[in-house]
Amino acid sequence: MTTLTFYGGIDEIGGNKVLLEDSETRILLDFGLSFSRMAEYYAEFLQPRTPSGLGDYLEFELLPKLEGIYREDLLKPAGVAYAEPKVDAVLLSHPHMDHAGCISFLDWRIPLHCADVARRILEAYQETSRAGFEGEICRGKIRPFGCEYVHHGEWEEFEREVMEPEEVKGVKVRAFEVDHSTLGANGYMIYTSEGVIAYTGDLRLHGPRAELTREFVRALSAEDVDLLIIEGTRVEEREENRFVRELAGEPQPKLGSEEEVRRRGLELVASTDQPVFVDFAIRDFDRLRTFYEVARRAGRKLVLPLKLVYYIRELSDVIGIEPDDEDLIFYVEPKGLGAYDEREYMNWEKPLLGLGNSKKCDWVREHLDELIVHLDYFSLQNLIDLKPERGLYIHASSEPFSEEEAMDFRRFKNWLEHFNLRYRHLHASGHLSREEVFRMIKEVNPKHVIPVHTEGSEIFRKELPNVVLPKYGESIKL
């Protein structure tokens, strides 16, 4: 018998957690962090407590209460009995935290199957992240909670087995690279004893690797797919409530493709001789390449934070940009006592400080009109050092939808207004449009459809006769 149980991604954007059971084989399809459920209890300065291990997460059912999946060291302080692993593998679609963010809580003996590029991104994320055990996806330390004090340098270490997707305990798995707003994204076909299950993860048809997504769809169409688990992020476009609109302003239209972001970005930058700042997600490497090209064509240099430089160094072969590129500048922010002494920086930052294109704020300030400076919400303080008198700010990521995000956005707008920076929004989604979702379903022609990663489940019910809408924690037979 083959069953699927959904513990996330149902009537929400992200948080995908699906348990697939086929006879004696148990596979998790993603194990992501649900930002919406977390926001019901926690905020930036109210977080789960480290000394409780998984206790705070389990208290509010932010993690499913399943036996035989979690790390023993994190269960102990929660007062929950440990059981040997009862899951054979995690099949990860892509390295965004709403799909991968809770893998760190899983028993480290449960292997992770993902694209090799996804593994490298997760390792770079872990190296540059300040998260505690929440960031230990690929490797970590076994915490001696409740024992006499043991220095963290003496804790036992572990390393999770991470491999390219392959057969899991007799269940055949085929992975297909797809286009999304990060690298290392896969869609899957899983050949169970009861039929073929297809899982899309997150994907799009308007990015620079759209042909990969089309190849995945063609492969699915050639199979007799029994169940298609498909993302529906944009099936129901979320509308901001009145409070959000008052704080953030009217939403700006999304652009249709990454190429359109590039073209519009170049038009904006080429039309000004003032300083230009840009904000895009740190692991959106397509957007990085877009503004790298915009800067080159506009005769400017692109200024990046050290964290993004680290990703470039570790992934230059797939990003297509080298760390010593003459069109890049690496912004070294002052830390500690502002002495620019390498002892003030993290271990991963230190090798980057001596690169020839690493510059301090004085140099960046003097050449500001010749640059495009990456500046996100968490580095707005750099404006105080850079002191632009006017300029252009290109917001190249999604706009706020929740009230909390809107309050952050209003604060962000206050900074732009204080430094006389004009705001422009340029963004293309990382997901299929509504029309593309239903076109894909029609082309694949599965026997049944389960929508995930969506708030538009009822739209699927109205549009399709074969849709199945699972409930949290309830098993569905294939």
The burial of 65, by beta-carbon neighbours within 10 Å (0-12 exposed, 13-18 middle, 19 or more buried), is given as exposed
pLDDT score of 65: 95
The whole-number mean pLDDT for each consecutive block of 10 residues of the chain, a chain of 478 residues, reads 96 95 97 94 91 95 96 96 97 97 97 98 94 92 87 89 94 97 97 97 96 98 97 77 52 81 96 97 96 98 96 96 93 92 93 91 96 95 96 87 74 94 92 96 98 94 94 92
What value, to the nearest 5°, has the Cα angle with vertex 376 and ends 434 and 34? 50
pLDDT score of 250: 55
Q: What is the dihedral of CA 158, 162, 167, 169, to 10 degrees?
A: 10
Residue 52 phi, psi dihedral angles, 5° rounding: -90, 0
Q: Are 357 and 242 spatial neighbours (Cβ–Cβ below 8 Å)?
A: no
Beta bridge pairs of residue 230: 451
Place of tokens 């704080």: 247
DSSP state of 46: B
pLDDT score of 297: 97
What value, to the nearest 5°, has the Cα angle with vertex 402 and ends 400 and 403? 105
pLDDT score of 441: 98
Q: Are 163 and 173 spatial neighbours (Cβ–Cβ below 8 Å)?
A: no
The b-or-e profile of 285-314 (16+ CB within 10 A means b, else e) is bbbbbbbbebbeebebbbbbbbbbbbbbbb
Hey, is 227 helix, strand or coil?
strand
CA 331 to chain centre: 24
- 272 vs 262, 267, 276, 291, 300, CA distance in Å? 16, 9, 8, 15, 12
What value, to the nearest 5°, has the Cα angle with vertex 409 and ends 401 and 35? 45
Hey, is 194 helix, strand or coil?
coil
For residue 105, give the nearest of 85, 130, 125, 127 by alpha carbon: 85
pLDDT score of 358: 94
What is the 3 state secondary structure string of 86-136? CCCEEECCCCCHHHHCCHHHECCCCCEECCHHHHHHHHHHHHHCCCCHHHC
Q: Which two three-digit tokens encode residue 54? A: 């998984």
H or E element at residue 119: helix 116-128
DSSP state of 399: P
What residue ranges define each of the domains in the chain, with the CATH number in brackets?
A: 2-234+431-477 (3.60.15.10), 242-425 (3.40.50.10710)
Q: Which two three-digit tokens encode residue 202? A: 């997150």
Hey, is 146 helix, strand or coil?
coil
Query: What is the number of other CB atoms lying within 10 angstroms of the CB of residue 61?
Result: 12
Q: Given phi > 0 = left and psi -120 to 50 = alpha, else beta, which region is 177?
A: beta
